[in-house]
Amino acid sequence: MEGRTRTVILGAGYAGLRAAMELDRLLGVRHPGKEITLINKHNYHQFITRLHESAARGDTGDEDVRIPLAEILGGRDIRLVKDTVTRLDRNRRQVETEGGAHGYDYLVVSLGSLPEFFDIPGLKEHALTLRSLNTARMVRTHIEGMFARFKNVVDPWERNGLLTFVIGGAGLTGVEVAGELADWVPELCRRYDVDPLEVRIINVEASEDILPGFAPDLVEYARNLLGEKGVRFVTGTRIARVKDTEVRLGSGEVIPTQTVIWAGGIRGNPLMAEAGLTVQGRGRAVVNEYLQSVDDPRIYVTGDSAFTVDPESGRPLAPNAQLAIAQGKVAAYNIYADMKGLPKKRFRPQSVGVLASLGPGKGIGMIKTVRAKGLTAALAKEMVPVRYLYSLGGIKLLAKKML
């Protein structure tokens, strides 16, 4: 392709940011007609995998889970546009935003995901979610507000359920929120002079057990550890209905509560289906082995936006940060290869493992063939953001963020 080549990347999450940086690196500073535009709703990059800390850990501030994009992209030939995407126009090959339109030759869609509420009555209206730094801040403020209200309310009927926190979904996010909250509760009780026995943390999971994908002995460790901290797990039943003062489970149990934190599922951004892209798996765009939309080879889809299948098992891959980063790199290379007339790379997922925090200093993990729990897993989990920061900006960015 001769002349100017416009690559537009939507979303500066794990996949989109990596795609932009990798394409910039591959093309180099002297590539004629190079034009990379990164469009993101915020002017910062969020560490989505640490939002549970911001939501339910008292000592975690906003700056611990975000970093200005300017600090990451400084010195790179990437144009950052802070805007909200409103429409994908495939016929005109342009992206419409609240602030205007952006034409493209190649498009990378990395718009993340939205909560999937499964048409459960009242859930969307009453539940808190963990989608962003802003929603995490809302969860934290709400939890503290419940303790403050409980302290100031005398009527037992009005107090009922104020300090009952229901977490929907016992996958990685749900369990990590439960663990952080359980460790934060003693501090909140001291601050607001509340008896810890008044507090209930209930994690509800429709499947028969928690933490799918972890070895049974690690799941048992997590159950026992969090159980000792006061977390009650309710498995094998789903949340059937949510009202402003109660949650009804499929088993028939009614839980008085004014706090539901939903971590039970995600779906793709509806802009993809509206653009006519084939979607599956709760609205995620179907891609081929090169991460191109099956409907349009000029559109690459990565991260939570993509419906990808493991070529060995044939099963859909669950979205996660590790997968998103790898997809961002492959999408960037394939755009570069197309520009240069080189063969494209097939995306082959390679997981190095999975880690879960169970509160400060505790965790579980499966790193390839090695299983870890307790402090060892927690330390390994703490190293993940360190390595990630280094990959974004080397020792300079790491030192600036960590010191």
β-strands 94-97, 85-89 pairing: antiparallel
Helix or strand or coil: residue 5? strand
CB 110 within 8 A of CB 305: yes
The phi-psi region of residue 388 (left if phi > 0; otherwise alpha if psi is between -120 and 50; otherwise beta) is alpha
Q: Which residue among the candidates 176, 180, 205, 246 is catalytic per the annotation? A: 176
Q: Distance (Å, rounded) from C-alpha 205 to C-alpha 168?
A: 6
Cα–Cα distance measured from residue 328 to residue 255, given in angstroms and rounded to the nearest whole number: 42
Q: Is 180 part of the annotated catalytic residue set?
A: no
The answer to whether residues 177 and 184 touch, using CB atoms and an 8 Å cutoff, is no
Q: Apex CA 10: angle with CA 8 and CA 16, to 5°?
A: 100
Distances in Å between the Cα of 31 and the Cα atoms of 66, 172, 330 are 31, 42, 19
Give the 3-state secondary structure of residue 383: helix
- Sheet containing 254-256, strands listed edge to edge, beginning at the edge strand earlier in sequence: 239-243, 246-249, 254-256
Q: Let me know if 353 is exposed, middle or buried by CB neighbors in 10 A (0-12, 13-18, 19+).
A: middle
- Whether the Cβ atoms of residue 38 and residue 347 lie closer than 8 Å to each other: no
Q: Positive or negative, the Cα torsion across 397, 398, 399, 400? A: positive
CA distance 392 to 165: 36
**CB within 8 Å of 262: residues ≥ 6 apart:** 115, 117, 123, 127, 128, 129, 168, 169
Catalytic amino acids? Answer: 176
